[in-house]
């Protein structure tokens, strides 16, 4: 692993920057970690839990996706962990084809799900957190856990991860050694198939949550994972009477929208709308109900669509004329919303619009 040091910190104006893959290894059979570094050994400044948007040249097109950073700030590399997803163009390319020496583009680290903007709230004078994750949702909470372990005053960390089995548990060896080395780090794994390990076997439920972390009401909770898992976990917390003002979450799973795949048999849905892009001298046609991001990408408009989940803000664009239906505005400021900015990945077309990128 490369040397780390705390000088030569990257500033906002250094982005976007070119980074090179300097290490790559398997975490599980369907998941790899990569280290990215800058030619000048720049150190990276971000808040633990944040993500970066990476642009990779695939078949002569630069494709962008957002990934949580699992290394710590102040290091001269970024660690990203990438899991295979069905039809996941960029993630699967990274797993199958990205090699040490390859170059990627890196945008500014961002995201509100981090332990600086969402600090733990002490209860009865004690700072205790519960990090709950499944699948690749482990990456931001793993970064937060490492950061708290390095911080003073100490934070009591309960780390609950749900996985199929040990072989599919991302960072398993590191988690076990953190558990052995730090009294403040309590590892709870719940496995579908525990094999001959000492970890409990079962399906995540309100009873498991209560049994595994009996003092959860004293903690601030950070949750990340697939959408349904997160909905379930939040509902279990509510059922247990948890104070949801101490609850923070993030999901990178694209939200299915009813209208993201228009039904051609539905005359209302198959009606056409026009998207005018004066700056590009372009006018596109799309079916009513199409995602604005899909329509722009299909029209060859150079928009960056990284997370597809309404989180990263990379697909921000301005609706100058007309209206779209948006289901997320979270990375936009009040001022931007007032000016007409929307997230193309989270907005469907129902009318003719004029768009400015």
Helix (H, G, I), strand (E, B) or coil at 298: helix
Please identify, using beta-carbon distances, which residue of 37 and 346 lies nearer to ligand FES.
346
Contacting residue, 49, 109, 137, 310, with ligand FES by CB under 6 A: 310
Residue 112 Cβ, how far from ligand FES at the closest point, in Å?
12
Task: Rule CB under 6 A: say whether 52 interacts with ligand FES.
Answer: no
Beta-strand pair 220-224/128-134: parallel
Task: Rule CB under 6 A: say whether 305 interacts with ligand FES.
Answer: yes
Please identify, using beta-carbon distances, which residue of 213 and 311 lies nearer to ligand FES.
311
Task: Rule CB under 6 A: say whether 284 interacts with ligand FES.
Answer: no
C-alpha closest to that of 129 among 220, 217, 209, 214: 220
Task: Rule CB under 6 A: say whether 262 interacts with ligand FES.
Answer: no
Site mask for ligand FES (CB under 6 A), range 5-44, x = bound:
----------------------------------------
d(CA 51, CA 67): 5
Residue 53 Cβ, how far from ligand FES at the closest point, in Å?
8
How many residues does the structure list for the chain?
357
What tokens appear for 189 in the block? Answer: 């794994």
Torsion of CA 79, 12, 309, 192, to 10 degrees: 20
Contact of 162 with 134, CB cutoff 8 Å: yes
Q: How many residues bind ligand FES (CB under 6 A)?
A: 12
Contacting residue, 47, 128, 161, 308, with ligand FES by CB under 6 A: 308
Residue 322 Cβ, how far from ligand FES at the closest point, in Å?
19
Please identify, using beta-carbon distances, which residue of 37 and 139 lies nearer to ligand FES.
139
- Touching ligand FES, residues 326-345 (CB under 6 A): 343, 345
Q: What are phi and psi of 268, to 5 degrees?
A: -65, -45
Largest Cα–Cα separation, the chain: 64
Task: Rule CB under 6 A: say whether 312 interacts with ligand FES.
Answer: yes
Contacting residue, 315, 317, 349, 355, with ligand FES by CB under 6 A: 315
d(CA 93, CA 82): 10
Residue 13: half-sphere exposure toward Cβ, Cα within 13 Å: 0
What is the 3-state secondary structure of 208-259? Answer: HHHHHCCCHHHCEEEEECCHHHHHHHHHHHHHCCCCHHHEEEECCCCCCCCC
d(CA 36, CA 100): 9
Residue 315 Cβ, how far from ligand FES at the closest point, in Å?
3
Contacting residue, 54, 129, 311, 342, with ligand FES by CB under 6 A: 311
Interface region with ligand FES, contact rule CB under 6 A, candidates 18-26, 80-88, 155-163, 299-307: 299-307
Contact of 262 with 349, CB cutoff 8 Å: no
Residue 306 Cβ, how far from ligand FES at the closest point, in Å?
5
Cis peptide before 268 (omega within 30 of 0): no
Contacting residue, 75, 313, 342, 355, with ligand FES by CB under 6 A: 313
- Tokens 């903007």 belong to 117
Task: Rule CB under 6 A: say whether 306 interacts with ligand FES.
Answer: yes
Please identify, using beta-carbon distances, which residue of 65 and 248 lies nearer to ligand FES.
65
CA distances for 279 relative to 74, 182, 204, 332, 357, angstroms: 40, 56, 50, 22, 8
C-alpha closest to that of 288 among 254, 259, 258: 259
Task: Rule CB under 6 A: say whether 223 interacts with ligand FES.
Answer: no
Beta-strand pair 185-191/156-163: parallel
Residue 251 Cβ, how far from ligand FES at the closest point, in Å?
12
Interface region with ligand FES, contact rule CB under 6 A, candidates 36-44, 77-85, 167-175, 309-317: 309-317
Please identify, using beta-carbon distances, which residue of 162 and 307 lies nearer to ligand FES.
307
Positions that interact with ligand FES (CB under 6 A)? 305-308, 310-315, 343, 345
């Amino acid at each position: 692993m490369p040397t780390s040091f705390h000088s030569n910190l990257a500033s906002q104006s250094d982005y976007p920057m070119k980074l090179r893959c300097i290490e790559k290894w398997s975490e599980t059979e369907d998941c790899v970690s990569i280290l990215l570094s800058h030619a000048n050994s720049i150190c990276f400044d971000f808040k633990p839990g944040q993500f970066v948007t990476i642009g990779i040249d695939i078949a002569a097109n630069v494709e962008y996706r957002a990934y949580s950073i699992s290394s710590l700030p102040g290091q001269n590399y970024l660690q990203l962990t990438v899991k295979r997803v069905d039809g996941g163009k960029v993630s699967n390319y990274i797993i199958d084809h990205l090699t040490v020496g390859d170059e990627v583009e890196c945008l500014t680290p961002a995201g509100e799900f981090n332990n600086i903007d969402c600090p733990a709230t002490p209860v009865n004078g004690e700072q205790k957190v519960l990090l709950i994750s499944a699948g690749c949702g482990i990456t931001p909470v793993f970064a937060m856990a490492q950061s708290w372990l390095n911080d003073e005053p100490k934070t009591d960390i309960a780390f609950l991860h749900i996985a199929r089995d040990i072989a599919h548990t991302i960072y398993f060896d590191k988690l076990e050694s953190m558990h052995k080395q730090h009294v403040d780090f309590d590892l709870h794994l719940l496995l579908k198939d525990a094999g001959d390990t000492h970890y409990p076997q079962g399906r995540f439920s309100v009873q498991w949550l209560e049994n595994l972390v009996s003092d959860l009401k004293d903690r601030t909770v950070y949750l990340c994972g697939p959408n349904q898992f997160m909905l379930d976990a939040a509902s279990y917390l509510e059922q247990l009477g948890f104070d949801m003002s101490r609850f923070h979450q993030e999901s990178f799973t694209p939200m299915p929208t009813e209208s993201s795949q228009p039904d051609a048999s539905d005359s209302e849905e198959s009606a056409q709308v026009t998207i005018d892009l004066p700056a590009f001298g372009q006018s596109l046609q799309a079916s009513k109900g199409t995602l604005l991001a899909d329509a722009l990408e299909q029209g060859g408009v150079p928009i960056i669509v990284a997370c597809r989940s309404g989180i990263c803000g990379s697909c921000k664009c301005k609706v100058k004329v007309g209206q779209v239906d948006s289901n997320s505005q979270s990375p936009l400021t009040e001022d931007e919303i007032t000016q007409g900015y929307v997230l193309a990945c989270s907005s469907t077309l129902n009318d003719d619009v004029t768009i400015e990128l």
